[in-house]
């Protein structure tokens, strides 16, 4: 009886190890797949929370960047080069966009494709195929308006704080205290 109990305990312990190994392998493969979908270095990627917000509600980008087509193109380019799986959300964004905004979406798609060509050609091909499957004349016009030989501008970071002002330290090595009563530079 005691021998059977010992064997059952060993079998149960073995099952737990198998479950742990399977979970670890699954997590490793999942993270590896995510890393393969990114065309840019980690420092140039859009934060995951911004990607999740875009995927959850793509049309909110149109509301945030109303009449700012260059910012729309830059932000969308940043999303695409960070994770190509957002193309599904881009399709619903295109449906909600105006004619001019759809041209900016096409521009963003082409710039993202240019950035991905050297690092991830398969991702660049996915972007190109996506544009072909959209069958939207405004998106294709924006996509075609961007020249191939000009490097794409860097993507605009979404929801990232910008460093404004000169700060409290000055000097060559930022070791001197700056004048707190100096006039602040005006925003452009």
**pLDDT (tens digit per residue) in 34-77:** 444 588 888 888 899 999 999 999 988 888 888 888 999 999 99
CA atoms within 13 A on the CB side of 77: 27
**115 or 5, which is more confident?**
115
Mean pLDDT value across the chain: 78
- Is 188's pLDDT higher than 80? no
Strand partners for 170: 176
- Is 92's pLDDT higher than 70? yes
Question: Which of the listed ranges 12-26, 94-108, 146-160 does the model predict with the highest average pLDDT?
Answer: 94-108
Q: Which of 44-48, 92-96, 169-173 has the lowest mean pLDDT?
A: 169-173
Among the listed residues 91, 54, 89, 96, the one whose alpha carbon sits nearest the alpha carbon of residue 75: 54
- Site of tokens 């700060």: 167
> Rounded to whole angstroms, how far apart are CA atoms 46 and 79?
6
Among the listed residues 133, 140, 60, 127, the one whose alpha carbon sits nearest the alpha carbon of residue 97: 60
Cβ contacts of 144 within 8 Å, gap of 6 or more = 106, 110
C-alpha 26 chain-centroid distance: 23
Model-wide pTM > 0.75: no
**75 or 32, which is more confident?**
75
Q: What is the DSSP string of 107-171?
A: HHHHHHHHHHHHH-HHHHHHHHHHHHHH--HHHHHHHHHS-SSSPPPPPPPSS-----S--SEET
Band (24; pLDDT cuts 50, 70, 90):
low
- Is 121's pLDDT higher than 80? yes
Among the listed residues 30, 10, 32, the one whose alpha carbon sits nearest the alpha carbon of residue 22: 30
- Is 159's pLDDT higher than 50? no
Among the listed residues 159, 151, 152, the one whose alpha carbon sits nearest the alpha carbon of residue 60: 159
- Is 101's pLDDT higher than 70? yes
Q: Percent of the chain having pLDDT more than 70?
A: 72
Residue 128: other Cβ atoms inside 10 A: 16
- Is 164's pLDDT higher than 50? no
């Amino acid at each position: 009886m005691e021998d059977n109990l010992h064997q059952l305990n060993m079998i149960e312990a073995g099952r737990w190890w198998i479950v742990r190994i399977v979970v670890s392998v699954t997590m490793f493969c999942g993270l590896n797949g995510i890393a393969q979908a990114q065309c840019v270095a980690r420092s140039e990627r859009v934060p995951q929370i911004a990607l999740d917000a875009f995927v959850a509600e793509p049309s909110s980008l149109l509301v945030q960047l109303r009449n700012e087509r260059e910012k729309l193109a830059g932000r969308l380019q940043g999303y695409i080069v960070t994770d190509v799986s957002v193309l599904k959300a881009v399709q619903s964004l295109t449906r909600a966009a105006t004619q001019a905004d759809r041209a900016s979406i096409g521009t963003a798609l082409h710039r993202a494709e240019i950035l991905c060509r050297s690092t991830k050609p398969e991702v660049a091909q996915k972007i190109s195929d996506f544009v072909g499957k959209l069958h939207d004349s405004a998106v294709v016009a924006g996509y075609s308006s961007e020249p191939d030989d000009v490097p794409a501008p860097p993507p605009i970071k979404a929801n990232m704080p910008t460093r404004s002002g000169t700060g409290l330290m000055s000097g060559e090595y930022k070791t001197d205290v700056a004048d707190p009563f100096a006039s602040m530079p005006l925003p452009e």
